[in-house]
Amino acid sequence: MTLRVGRIEYANCIPLFRALDELSDNRHSYVNGVPAILNAMLSQGEIDLSPSSSILYGVDPKRYWLLPDLSISATGPVKSVLLFSNQPVETLDGATIGLTNESDTSVALLKIILAKFFGFNNRFLRTDMMPQQATEAFGALLLIGNQAMRESISGGGSICLRSGRTLVPVHRTSVRICALGR
């Protein structure tokens, strides 16, 4: 039996897959995708193992197993989950926020942050638009992973959530490895 493994091609996942390749007997095949797509594939049984969003586990913890002592996490700011906007965060109440199609946890946490911490009432739409077009079309745009890092380096918009610095991540999160329970 070949184990079908979801592979996220983000820089922070490279050590996971390198270790799997070095330590395994190579009876696995990779299915590449972004977290949201791999979450759906894992929940539908199309893959057997994958780094998955913590929200996937949180919604149905009896369905998945966590691998102990293994996560992609941070003890400080996460610089790969960013909210881009050309306007100050205070003006975003009621705005439509563009959302990456790559994440589920970041989307859920952004909604909580804007509603609970800022008291905002926003609309949210997933988008495939290029970042520059999306920041013009929406009040703000949530990006994650390599795309967020590339956009922050290129100066493709200012980051809304500020605390005396130009770049402030939307949240801190950890991605846990889950395997479909069989």
What ranges do the domains of the chain cover? Answer: 3-73+174-180, 81-159
- Selected from 3.40.190.10, 1.10.260.40, 3.40.50.300, 3.90.1150.10, the CATH number assigned to the domain covering 81-159 reads 3.40.190.10
Top-confidence residue, 76 or 141: 141
Phi-psi sector, 26: left (phi>0), alpha (psi -120 to 50), beta = left
Q: Quickly state the pLDDT bin for 159 (edges 50, 70, 90).
A: very low
- Measure Cα distances from 10 to 43, 125, 175 in Å: 21, 23, 12
- Mean pLDDT check: name the lowest of 86-90, 104-108, 158-162: 158-162
Name the pTM for this structure.
0.75
The answer to whether the CB of 148 falls within 8 A of the CB of 80 is yes
Q: Counting beta carbons within 10 angstroms of the beta carbon of residue 160, is it exposed (0 to 12), middle (13 to 18) or buried (19 or more)? A: buried
CA angle 40, 46, 48 (to 5 degrees): 100
Residue 50 CB contacts under 8 Å (≥ 6 apart), including other chains: 5, 6, 7, 8, 38, 39, 41, 42, 177, 178
- Region 11-31 average pLDDT: 90
CATH fold of 3-73+174-180, please? D-Maltodextrin-Binding Protein; domain 2 (3.40.190)
Top-confidence residue, 125 or 54: 125
Summarize the chain as % helix, strand, coil (round to 5): 35, 25, 40
Are domains 3-73+174-180 and 81-159 of this chain identical in fold? Answer: yes
